[in-house]
Amino acid sequence: MEQMTIKTTPIEGQKPGTSGLRKPTRTFMSAHYLENYVQAIFNGIGGVAGKTLVLGGDGRFFNDRAIQVILRMAAANGVAHMIVGQGGILSTPAASNLIIQHKTDGGLILSASHNPGGIDADFGLKYNVPAGGPAPEDVTAEIFAQTTTLSEYKILEAQDVDLSTLGSSDLAGMRIEIVDPVHDWADLMETLFDFDAIRALFAGGFTFRFDAMHAVTGPYAEDVFVNRLGAPQGTVLNGTPSPDFGGGHPDPNPIWAKPLVDLVMGPDAPDFAAASDGDGDRNMILGKGLYVTPSDSLALLAANAHLAPAYKDGLAGVARSMPTSRAVDRVATAKGLDCYETPTGWKFFGNLLDAGRITICGEESAGTSSDHVREKDGLWAILLWLNILAVRKKPVLDLVRAHWAEFGRNFYARYDYEGIEAESANTLFSGLRDALPGLVGGELGGRIVETADEFSYHDPVDGSVSSAQGIRLTLSGGGRIVFRLSGTGTVGATLRVYLEEATDDPAAVDWDQTEVLAPLAALADDVAGIARITGRTAPDVIA
Ligand code: G1P
Ligand code: ZN
């Protein structure tokens, strides 16, 4: 086995986004692309000699090849111990759990989350820190800086490592430990939730369908729901992971998980249904005849978490990303909990969780989790729902309506305009920025603009400041419009417009969301000039 130092030159555009580096798969497969980025990570975290790292991914196309390259580079860079999911597979929350449980120096997760997989789709790679969460901005900035000056990388010339057999092996002095991807994470779940109560729920005939969307959670869901909790065979749909996610879009929302939504809206609806994404960190929650928005789900979980053993003493605090609806804020106010507003992206919750300031947090993009790991955890959210349903013994619809009646209701939708020209996006945002000062106190669509600003986050734990995190307008009567650009896209710019109306009117439990939000949608278009600047008269996706 020869150790080689390969000369290379910086590759443009290796800047980590909201969640690591995501690019078209063919880009990742091009000469030196993966190798450069891996070496930049190793250099950016101060070298990896003698360190222990976790490695695994969501199994998408190129996962297997990339893992072999990373192992050879890790050995050449002096890594002491690599903990690898069997077959190169780890869901994102399971990887976070292994990083924490084994007290490692962090980990590398291969995933482009909910983006499609395949040679003509997307690939991604991110580094998680020893605390288990995505690297914060100072770390990703250092990794990016390394990509711009890199002149060589180290790699071993060696045969492929057998990833199929559990146990330890040696690669040029580096210990490789292949672990079951599911086991430790599933054991952790047993410590958090009342498995007996959930088992009794299933034994009583409660029906549940989980759609793994041909992605990484299939084996996790089989183990937890069927083997450990006794749900019947057939509970897990699309449970066999495939490198291109069955040709689909592994994004658990009403558009990409439409068959499951159709099921709960039809005559054969189960009592409860849920789905997760490519790498297992997102969740979608459905009841008979009902889609529960991620923002409402976060609020309801925060209000009821004490029904699960892990959270029985209450929550330290809660947090949501800025564009997420303020439904959870209402719960925090009612329960006297601290509530934090962070920029989009899970990495911003890390400090709050580490400092013990919050227990539960979430994003409107279907990510919810707690302090049990440092990633969002799709199946965790679904298990907490099951625990709550097992205790409350009421249909999902009744629980949600009762929640709105008690805390008030926030209507919420996100409009996505995909693949717009970078130049149009810049024009739109600079126009908005210029208009902000003039908007405050003025009138918009018959309502007063109470605030209009660009969100800057001041991290209360380490004092760091993250600016330009989205433009937001709040309107009298509880309305809010937020504009931001996606940081996870791989081509063109995606404009996200977040619309929210809030009311305490008890009659609002029966109002129609589309109708309630329609005037706000028109206002958003008007104030930002979406149609005028981008030529788009309707969003590509309403989430
Ligand atoms: C999107 C979501 C964000 C989430 C991220 C990673 O980022 O909006 O909440 O954390 O994916 O899953 P965006 O594309 O908006 O930057
Ligand atoms: Zn994901």
Distance CA 33, CA 23 (A): 10
Ligand 1 atom closest to residue 18's alpha carbon, by position in its atom list? 16
**Ligand 1 near 18 CB (within 6 A):** yes
The closest residue, in CA terms, to atom 8 on ligand 1 is 365
Ligand 1 atom closest to residue 282's alpha carbon, by position in its atom list? 12
Distance CA 21, CA 38 (A): 11
407, 429, 456 - which closes a domain: 407
pLDDT on residue 17: 86
**Ligand 1 near 503 CB (within 6 A):** no
Distance CA 334, CA 316 (A): 14
The closest residue, in CA terms, to atom 4 on ligand 1 is 345
> Ligand 2 centre from 341 Cα, in Å?
21
**Ligand 1 near 466 CB (within 6 A):** no
Report the CATH number that the domain containing residue 463 is assigned in CATH: 3.30.310.50
Query: 168: burial class by Cβ within 10 Å (0-12, 13-18, 19+)?
Result: exposed
On whether both 114 and 211 belong to a single domain, the answer is no
3-state secondary structure of 330: helix
144, 164, 181 - which closes a domain: 181
pLDDT on residue 490: 73
Question: What's at 433, amino acid-wise?
Answer: R
> From residue 109, how far is each of 59, 84, 113 by CA, in Å?
11, 10, 10
Nearest to 407, CA basis, from 262, 286, 298: 298
Report the CATH number that the domain containing residue 50 is assigned in CATH: 3.40.120.10
On whether both 417 and 484 belong to a single domain, the answer is yes
Mutate which of 113, 256, 349, 365 to test ligand 1's pocket (most atoms within 8 Å of Cβ)?
A: 365
Token readout for 431 is 């126009």
378 near 282, Cβ under 8 Å? yes
Question: pLDDT tens-digit profile of 479-535?
Answer: 999 999 998 877 789 999 999 999 999 999 999 999 999 999 999 999 999 999 999
Ligand 1 atom closest to residue 321's alpha carbon, by position in its atom list? 9
Token readout for 297 is 């789900």
On whether both 353 and 420 belong to a single domain, the answer is no
217 near 235, Cβ under 8 Å? no
Distance CA 167, CA 175 (A): 10
On whether both 169 and 276 belong to a single domain, the answer is no
On whether both 321 and 369 belong to a single domain, the answer is yes
272 near 386, Cβ under 8 Å? yes
Distance CA 9, CA 160 (A): 26
Nearest ligand to the C-alpha of residue 496? 1
- Other C-beta atoms closer than 10 Å to the C-beta of 99 total 28
Token readout for 524 is 């958003």
> Ligand 1 centre from 277 Cα, in Å?
13
Q: What is the DSSP string of 421-434?
A: -HHHHHHHHHHHHH
On whether both 66 and 208 belong to a single domain, the answer is no
Question: pLDDT tens-digit profile of 314-345?
Answer: 999 999 999 999 999 999 999 999 999 999 99
> Ligand 1 centre from 453 Cα, in Å?
21
Query: 428 pairs with which residues across the strands?
Result: none
Nearest ligand to the C-alpha of residue 282? 2
The closest residue, in CA terms, to atom 10 on ligand 1 is 345
Q: What is the DSSP string of 205-247?
A: T--EEEE-TTSTHHHHHIIIIIIIT-PPTT-EES-S--TTGGG
> Ligand 1 centre from 93 Cα, in Å?
16
**Ligand 1 near 36 CB (within 6 A):** no
Token readout for 112 is 């482009």
On whether both 152 and 25 belong to a single domain, the answer is yes
On whether both 144 and 16 belong to a single domain, the answer is yes
- Residue 113 is a catalytic residue: yes
pLDDT on residue 19: 84
Per-residue pLDDT of the chain (543 residues; tens, 9 = 90+): 799 999 999 999 999 987 899 999 999 999 999 999 999 999 999 999 999 999 999 999 999 999 999 999 999 999 999 999 999 999 999 999 999 999 999 999 999 999 999 999 999 999 999 999 999 989 999 999 999 999 999 999 999 999 999 999 999 999 999 999 999 999 999 999 999 999 999 999 999 999 999 999 999 999 999 999 999 999 999 999 999 999 999 999 999 999 999 999 999 999 999 999 999 999 999 999 999 999 999 999 999 999 999 999 999 999 999 999 999 999 999 999 999 999 999 999 999 999 999 999 999 999 999 999 999 999 999 999 999 999 999 999 999 999 999 999 999 999 999 999 999 999 999 999 999 999 999 999 999 999 999 999 999 999 999 999 999 999 999 999 999 999 887 778 999 999 999 999 999 999 999 999 999 999 999 999 999 999 999 999 898
Q: Which domain holds residue 254?
A: 185-407
345 near 303, Cβ under 8 Å? no
Distance CA 386, CA 382 (A): 6
Catalytic residue among 113, 242, 325, 365: 113
Token readout for 114 is 């909910």
Distance CA 277, CA 280 (A): 5
> Ligand 1 centre from 186 Cα, in Å?
26
424-451 burial, b for 16+ CB within 10 Å, e for fewer?
Answer: bbeebbeebeeebeebeeeebeebebee
pLDDT on residue 492: 83
On whether both 160 and 141 belong to a single domain, the answer is yes
Mutate which of 298, 344, 361 to test ligand 1's pocket (most atoms within 8 Å of Cβ)?
A: 344
On whether both 216 and 253 belong to a single domain, the answer is yes
Nearest to 88, CA basis, from 247, 221, 243, 250: 243
> Ligand 1 centre from 346 Cα, in Å?
8
On whether both 352 and 422 belong to a single domain, the answer is no
Q: Which residues surround ligand 2, an ion (CB under 5 A)?
A: 113, 277, 279, 281-282
Count of domains forming the chain: 3
Q: Where are the alpha helices (DSSP H) in 476-529?
A: 513-528
> From residue 483, how far is each of 129, 364, 474, 497 by CA, in Å?
30, 14, 12, 5
The closest residue, in CA terms, to atom 13 on ligand 1 is 486
On whether both 416 and 361 belong to a single domain, the answer is no
Mutate which of 15, 19, 368 to test ligand 1's pocket (most atoms within 8 Å of Cβ)?
A: 19
- Other C-beta atoms closer than 10 Å to the C-beta of 506 total 12
Nearest ligand to the C-alpha of residue 367? 1
> Ligand 2 centre from 126 Cα, in Å?
12
Token readout for 268 is 């054969």
**Ligand 1 near 485 CB (within 6 A):** no
